[in-house]
């Protein structure tokens, strides 16, 4: 391959360009091409791989030649976007390092953390050589603009003049979206090599940052999958089952939890550079969607950033449309509401987060594609994609690269404007406490869950939010309504979180005062990243008449983590004596005294689960009721560890463990006189299918973090293991979509085996959490039978959300069904729930109520036994006749019968039957001990349901069972309507699952002692 060129070829190239220009609107508005020679071979291939001229622009229809700086063709052997070529991360990195070695305009850095599988994530910086030499100075400038508390307006203006905007492009967070890593290599080359006023402006005014691949583990597996497909034409090939170690597409929903290395890398890098723009490159809809969203937009952002989204999007649309490129549009596609996307490391921090969706083929094949919906012209899409198109990887590369270069140029030309906007947004974030409010959030220092409270403020600190601690007791003024709403709901019978907020004119709310102890965390809203903190801790209201939500609508972190978070509007709180946390909050637990037994309160701090497994050889029991040691109260479910019968070094080891885990243990002179049962070390399995691993990965994240051991098994293990009970005590089946049939049957057994394992063409698959020689087939009926036997022999099977369909529809359980929603609109939100059976071990350690994450389904109904008459008491119980609803019917012309016998009030899950009815039911009569036990219910009153998010048709959800414990043989099936381990956000619900697992062989505890109470409502089973 030669990079020499002839004058004739240059002329031919120029003519092609002119032809392209003639076809479009106006030549003057387009970019003057470089005077320098082109790499003719490379340029010819660009044209060859592009299916239509109108998918090229003058920016990407050629590649400038360089005598010193290598192209991808030189280093890797192919042109970026070449058919049949996807590049592994190691080769991407090899290219960038070669580029940096050859060009003083390119530098390579390494992100702070390696991926979960140990891969590097690179960060590339490209600018003028002089700018790169002063990179630290430019980082200092953006840092000072980011924090107006230490920068005056005059200083800021000088800094803006001196500073550079930073434009950060990130590739392939979504592994099947394969084009951006290829495109970014070529763009980096162009930015380093091409000399023209267009590129000079970019290099002079911008520092371009590139993250070549975000999901590095998933990228390499995707290249494996693609290469397998190419090596096995005509055969079934695997879909990309595993992306990262834990989650797939949801790696772009980690912006709230930051559980994944890739998100933390982006956050830490942001806080180091304060880039002006973070631009995430995605692929889905044709041909190029540039983000603005449909709204409702996130209500905590400075409106200026919303304007900037539109400004940038419409600039690209105009420039691309000018060039005759079809199908570049905005609006539509997603809403702009939830802050759980990766690019909130920018949007949530006063910078601009944006993304593209370009058309991707999922690999590097050229193919004919049909465009359906997006081919329609619409008000927001006057220039739609064509309905039928031959599409290539190169087309995708051209679209992404042309548009993002145009955006970079626009920002370069307007860098003072964007830097100034950044400064304005930062200033207004600091002014928030005094302006729109609130003044602060307070996490009370006497929170019952100190470990989770510390985890929550540490998450905020990871996001760059400053957290303070009160140095003494203080009092804060609170509106009466706020004291209730801010608790993350849960206060049944009091006003809901929305109370009064719809009023057109606001009258000052009545105020009350509340004392907070020393050590309370205070998150001030007069700091640069107040908006991020506010959007995480506040409550959300999503109007059901808004466009359909794209993702979750509510996420209030305090509620989901079951950590009380108080919104304080009174500015007095800012004057409270406090000091800044200089490092992460860490709760040091302690053990006091020495005695016959040690007691650890069950406060549902999640490290309690860690403690049980850390003290493997220690015998431990839990209290079935609340009790006291001296004056100290302990919840049901508290650990009681006797000195007798345990290792001699028990006290030392317990002390070390509780100190480390932030738990408090107390010695008791005598073993507390409370009913207990032993808690061993349950052998837990987390079950995945070979169809989808998205949701179960979030469960593995938590078990790994908390060091709770588990076996990771597939539905094939269930199918092939008749004696499951010999291996496991607890099998947890996290959510998988589809019908019970679809889950049980798995990938159809047609065609060839589909391996997911290491081979010469798939070298990265062996690292996957699980491997198989054939992904086809699910657990099958054999697996259902094995599961049934497992439960009957004393195992606990936990099904969450949709996987509940398997035990329900296949009849492992009876007495529970799933109702269809008719009116309910409850997309990914936080709802109040109440423990309806606090004696159940699943409720151990919890208060009366708990806010939970629920997403539309399932709606459980626990059927009364046949003949129980729906619980009685409602209208329609008597025929039309004399008197009132409650009067007995009087039949004429006969002696009147006496009233029917009074039945005692039913216990939860125990309906009232007369002896006569029991006889009639025969074998269908379910004795109370075998009936489903409703442990947690959604709030009884529809008006109290919603904490955060959306709700319509709430009467279908109100009072519904959220957790049902169904006895089956000697074991149990526990059904969750809520997801207790969702996206590292629902820490407050984890212990529901841990309680169930730890007490798997004593789940019937407290059943007999359930307090008598009337059935909550008669209509439960008629919805
Ligand atoms: Zn994507």
**Residue written as token pair 């391959």:** 1
Please, which pLDDT band fits residue 881 given cuts at 50, 70 and 90? confident
828 alpha carbon – ligand 1 mean position (Å): 20
**Band (904; pLDDT cuts 50, 70, 90):** low
Q: Which two tokens stand for residue 621?
A: 């029991």
Q: From the CA of 287, how far away is ligand 1's center (Å)? A: 14
Distance between CA 875 and CA 946 in Å, rounded?
28
Residue 497 confidence (pLDDT): 36
Q: What is the pLDDT, as a whole number, of residue 34? A: 62
H or E stretch covering 77: none
d(CA 169, CA 207): 11
Residue 185 CA, ligand 1 centroid: distance in Å:
19
Task: Determine the distance separating the centroid of ligand 1 and the alpha carbon of 358, expressed in angstroms.
Answer: 9
Can you tell me the distance from the alpha carbon of 531 to that of 435, in angstroms, rounded to the nearest whole number? 13
pLDDT at residue 900 in the model: 63
Please name which of 168, 171, 165, 170 lies closest in space to residue 203, comparing C-alpha atoms: 165
Phi, psi of 828 (to 5 degrees): 25, 80
Distance CA 699, CA 713 (A): 13
Residue 374 C-alpha to ligand 1 middle, in angstroms? 17
The single-letter DSSP state of residue 430 is: H
**Percent with pLDDT over 90 in the chain:** 85
Percent of the chain scoring above 70 in pLDDT:
90
pLDDT for the residue 507:
67
State in Å: Cα 354 to ligand 1 middle: 12
Backbone phi, then psi, for 477, in 5-degree steps?
A: -80, 130
pLDDT score of 1011: 42
Extract the tokens encoding 728.
């496991």
Q: Exposure string (b/e) for 405-419, b if CB count within 10 Å is 16 or more? A: bbbbbbbbebbeebb
- Condensed to tens digits (0 to 9), the pLDDT of residues 292-327 reads 999 999 999 999 999 999 999 999 999 999 999 999
925 has pLDDT over 70: yes
Q: Tell me the pLDDT tens digit for each residue of 651-692.
A: 999 999 999 999 999 999 999 999 999 999 999 999 999 999
- Mutual orientation of helices 179-193 and 89-102 as an angle, nearest 10°? 0
At residue 371, φ and ψ (nearest 5 deg) are -105, 125
Split at pLDDT 50, 70, 90, the class of 501 is: very low
> How many angstroms does the Cα of residue 249 sit away from the middle of ligand 1?
7
The mean pLDDT value for 182-190 works out to 98
* CA–CA distances in Å: residue 1011 to residues 534, 639, 1006: 41, 24, 10
- Give distance in angstroms: CA of 174 to centre of ligand 1: 5
Alpha helix positions (H), 163-260 = 179-193, 197-205, 216-231
288 C-alpha to ligand 1 centroid (Å)? 13
pLDDT of residue 490: 40
Helices (H), 625-686: 650-661
Q: What is the pLDDT of residue 864?
A: 64
Cα of 410 vs centre of ligand 1, distance in Å, is: 25
Cα 550 to middle of ligand 1, angstroms:
13
CA of 136 to the centre of ligand 1 (A): 32
At 22, is the pLDDT very low, low, confident or very high (cuts 50, 70, 90)? very low
Say how many Å lie between the CA of residue 285 and the centre of ligand 1: 10
Q: How far apart are CA 655 and CA 649, in angstroms?
A: 10
Predicted confidence band of residue 880 (pLDDT cuts 50, 70, 90): confident
Interval between CA 751 and ligand 1 midpoint (Å): 30
Looking at the predicted structure, is the pLDDT value of residue 485 above 60?
A: no
- At 946-1003, the pLDDT tens digits run 999 999 999 999 999 999 999 999 999 999 999 999 999 999 999 999 999 999 999 9
How many CA atoms lie within 13 Å of 258's alpha carbon, on the beta-carbon side? 21
Cα–Cα distance measured from residue 863 to residue 885, given in angstroms and rounded to the nearest whole number: 26
pLDDT at position 873 is 35
Expressed in percent and rounded to 5, the helix, strand and coil fractions of the chain are 35, 20, 45
SS3 114: coil
Answer yes or no: are the C-beta atoms of 675 and 625 closer than 8 Å: yes
Alpha-carbon torsion (770, 774, 777, 779), positive or negative: negative
Mean pLDDT throughout 542-556?
Answer: 96
In 3-state terms, what secondary structure has residue 613?
Answer: helix
In which band, very low, low, confident or very high, does the pLDDT at 15 lie, cut at 50, 70 and 90?
Answer: very low
Pairing outcome for strands 597-600 and 511-516: unpaired
In angstroms, the CA 330 to CA 356 distance is 9
The tens digit of pLDDT for each residue in 602-613 reads 999 999 999 999
pLDDT over 90 (residue 918): no
The DSSP annotation for 313-331 comes to: HHHHHHHHHHTT---EE-S
Task: State the Cα angle at 289 between 283 and 291, rounded to 5°.
Answer: 105
Q: For 257-295, how does the pLDDT look when each residue is reduced to its tens digit (9 = 90+)? A: 999 999 999 999 999 999 999 999 999 999 999 999 999
CA geometry: angle at 751 spanning 747 and 757, to 5°? 65
Q: How far, in Å, is the centroid of ligand 1 from the Cα of 343?
A: 12
372: number of Cβ within 10 Å: 8
CA–CA distances in Å: residue 903 to residues 126, 652, 865, 918 = 80, 56, 16, 14
Q: Using CA atoms, how far apart are residues 268 and 249, in angstroms rounded to an integer?
A: 22
pTM, rounded to two decimals: 0.91
Residue 712 CA, ligand 1 centroid: distance in Å: 27
- Which of 991, 961, 963, 981 minimizes the C-alpha distance to 635? 991
Confidence of residue 890 (pLDDT cuts 50, 70, 90): confident
Helix orientation angle between 415-431 and 530-537, rounded to the nearest 10 degrees: 60
Q: How far is the CA of 985 from the centre of ligand 1 (A)?
A: 21
For 293: left if phi > 0, alpha if psi spans -120 to 50, otherwise beta; the answer is: left
pLDDT band at 877 (very low <50, low <70, confident <90, very high): low
Band (pLDDT 50/70/90 cuts) for residue 1 is very low
Q: Which residues, listed in sequence order, are joined to residue 937 by a DSSP beta bridge? A: 834, 961
The pLDDT score that the predictor gives to residue 863 is 75
SS3 479: strand
284 CA from centroid of ligand 1 (Å): 7
CA distance 971 to 734: 19
Q: What is the pLDDT of residues 124-183, one digit of tens each?
A: 999 999 999 999 999 999 999 999 999 999 999 999 999 999 999 999 999 999 999 999
C-alpha 665/C-alpha 611 separation (Å) is 11
CA of 574 to the centre of ligand 1 (A): 41
pLDDT tens sequence across 814-853 = 999 999 999 999 999 999 999 999 999 999 999 999 999 9
53: nearest Cα among 526, 303, 398, 380: 398
From CA 779, how far away is CA 259, in angstroms rounded? 30
Helix 303-322, helix 415-431: angle, nearest 10:
160
Give the Å distance between the CA of 357 and the centre of ligand 1.
Answer: 7
Asked if the model's pLDDT at residue 866 lies above 60, the reply is no
Q: Which residue has the tokens 């015998």?
A: 619
Length of the chain, in residues: 1023
Q: Give the Å distance between the CA of 173 and the centre of ligand 1.
A: 7
Do 315 and 407 touch, CB atoms closer than 8 A? yes
């Amino acid at each position: 391959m030669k990079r020499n060129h002839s004058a004739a070829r240059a002329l031919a190239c120029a003519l092609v360009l002119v032809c392209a220009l003639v076809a479009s609107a106006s030549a003057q508005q387009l970019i003057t091409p470089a005077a320098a020679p082109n790499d003719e071979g490379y340029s010819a291939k660009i044209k060859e791989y592009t299916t239509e001229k109108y998918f090229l622009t003058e920016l990407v229809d050629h590649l400038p030649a360089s005598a010193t700086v290598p192209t991808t063709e030189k280093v890797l052997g192919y042109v970026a976007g070449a058919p049949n070529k996807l590049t592994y991360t190691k080769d991407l990195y090899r290219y960038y390092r070669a580029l940096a070695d050859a060009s003083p305009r390119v530098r390579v850095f390494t992100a702070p953390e390696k991926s979960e599988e140990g891969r590097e994530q690179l960060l590339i910086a490209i600018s003028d050589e002089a700018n790169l030499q002063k990179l630290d100075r430019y980082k200092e400038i953006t840092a000072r603009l980011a924090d107006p508390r230490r920068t005056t307006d005059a200083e800021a203006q000088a800094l803006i003049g001196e500073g550079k905007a930073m434009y950060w492009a990130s590739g392939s967070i979504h592994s099947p979206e394969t084009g951006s890593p290829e495109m970014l290599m070529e763009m980096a080359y162009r930015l380093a090599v091409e000399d023209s006023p267009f590129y000079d402006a970019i290099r002079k005014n911008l520092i371009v940052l590139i993250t070549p691949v975000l999901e590095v583990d998933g990228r390499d597996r995707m290249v494996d999958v693609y290469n397998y497909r190419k090596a096995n034409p005509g055969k079934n090939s695997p879909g990309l089952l595993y992306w990262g170690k834990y989650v797939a597409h949801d790696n772009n929903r980690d912006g709230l939890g930051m559980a994944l290395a890739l998100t933390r890398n982006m956050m830490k890098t942001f806080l180091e550079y304060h880039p002006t723009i973070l631009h995430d490159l995605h692929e889905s809809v044709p041909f190029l969607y540039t983000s603005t969203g449909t709204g409702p937009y996130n209500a905590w952002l400075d409106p200026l950033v919303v304007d900037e989204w539109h400004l940038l999007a419409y600039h690209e649309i105009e420039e691309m449309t000018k060039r005759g490129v079809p199908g570049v549009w905005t609006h539509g596609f997603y809403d702009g509401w939830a802050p759980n996307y990766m690019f909130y490391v920018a949007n949530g921090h006063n910078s601009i987060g944006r993304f593209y969706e370009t058309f991707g083929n999922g690999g590097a094949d050229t193919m004919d594609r049909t465009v359906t919906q997006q081919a329609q012209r619409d008000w927001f899409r006057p220039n739609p994609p064509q309905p039928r198109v031959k599409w290539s990887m190169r087309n995708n590369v051209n679209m992404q690269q042309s548009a993002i270069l145009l955006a970079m140029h626009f920002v370069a030309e307007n860098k003072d404007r964007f830097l100034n906007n950044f400064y304005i947004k930062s200033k207004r974030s600091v002014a928030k406490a005094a302006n729109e409010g609130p003044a602060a959030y307070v996490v009370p220092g006497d929170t019952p869950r100190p470990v989770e409270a510390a985890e929550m403020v540490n998450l905020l600190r990871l996001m760059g939010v400053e957290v303070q601690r009160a140095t003494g007791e203080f009092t804060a003024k609170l509106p009466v309504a706020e004291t209730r709403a801010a608790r993350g709901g849960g206060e049944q019978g009091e006003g809901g979180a929305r109370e009064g907020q719809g009023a057109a004119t606001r009258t000052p709310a009545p105020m009350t005062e509340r004392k907070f102890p020393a050590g309370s965390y205070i998150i001030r809203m007069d700091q640069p990243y107040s908006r991020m903190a506010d959007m995480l801790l506040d409550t959300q209201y999503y109007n059901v008449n808004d466009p359909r939500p794209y993702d979750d609508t509510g996420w209030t972190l305090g509620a989901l983590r079951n950590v009380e978070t108080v919104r304080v509007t009174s500015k007095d709180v800012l004057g409270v004596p406090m000091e800044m946390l200089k490092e992460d909050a860490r709760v040091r637990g302690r053990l006091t005294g020495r005695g016959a037994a040690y007691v650890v309160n069950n406060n549902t701090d999640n490290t309690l689960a860690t403690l049980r497994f850390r003290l493997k050889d220690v015998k431990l029991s839990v209290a079935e009721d609340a009790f006291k040691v001296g004056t100290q109260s302990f919840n049901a479910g508290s650990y009681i560890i006797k000195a007798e019968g345990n290792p001699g070094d028990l006290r030392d080891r317990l002390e070390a463990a509780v100190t480390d885990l932030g738990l408090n243990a107390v010695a008791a002179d005598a073993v507390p006189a409370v009913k207990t049962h032993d808690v061993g070390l349950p052998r837990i399995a987390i079950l995945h299918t070979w169809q989808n691993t998205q949701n179960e990965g979030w469960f593995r994240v938590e078990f790994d973090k908390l060091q709770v051991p588990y076996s990771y098994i597939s539905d094939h293990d269930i199918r092939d293991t008749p004696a499951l009970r010999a291996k496991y005590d607890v099998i947890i089946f996290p959510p998988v979509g589809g019908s019970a049939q679809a889950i049980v049957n798995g990938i159809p057994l047609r065609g060839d085996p589909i391996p997911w394992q290491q081979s010469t063409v798939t070298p990265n698959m062996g690292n996957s959490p699980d491997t198989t020689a054939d992904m086809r087939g699910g657990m099958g009926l054999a697996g259902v039978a094995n599961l049934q036997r497992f439960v009957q022999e004393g195992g606990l099977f936990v099904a969450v959300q949709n996987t509940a369909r398997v035990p329900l529809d296949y009849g492992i359980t009876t007495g529970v069904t799933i109702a269809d929603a008719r009116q309910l609109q409850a997309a990914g939100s936080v709802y109040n729930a109440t423990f309806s059976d606090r004696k159940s071990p699943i409720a151990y350690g919890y208060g009366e109520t708990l806010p939970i994450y629920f997403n539309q389904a399932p709606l459980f109904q626990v059927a009364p036994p046949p003949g129980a008459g729906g619980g009685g008491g409602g209208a329609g119980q008597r025929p039309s006749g004399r008197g009132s609803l409650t009067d007995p019917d009087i039949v004429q012309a006969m002696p009147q019968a006496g009233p029917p016998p009074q039945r005692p009030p039913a216990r939860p899950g125990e309906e009232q039957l007369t002896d006569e009815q029991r006889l009639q039911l025969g074998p269908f009569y379910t004795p109370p001990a075998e009936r489903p036990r409703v442990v947690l219910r959604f709030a009884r009153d529809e008006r109290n349901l919603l904490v955060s998010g959306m709700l319509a048709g709430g009467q279908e959800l109100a009072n519904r069972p959220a957790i049902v414990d169904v006895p089956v043989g000697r074991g149990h099936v526990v059904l969750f309507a809520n997801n207790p381990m969702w996206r590292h956000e629902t820490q407050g619900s984890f212990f529901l699952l841990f309680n169930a697992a730890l007490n798997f062989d004593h789940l019937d505890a407290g059943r007999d002692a359930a307090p008598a109470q009337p059935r909550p409502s008669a209509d439960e089973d008629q919805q």
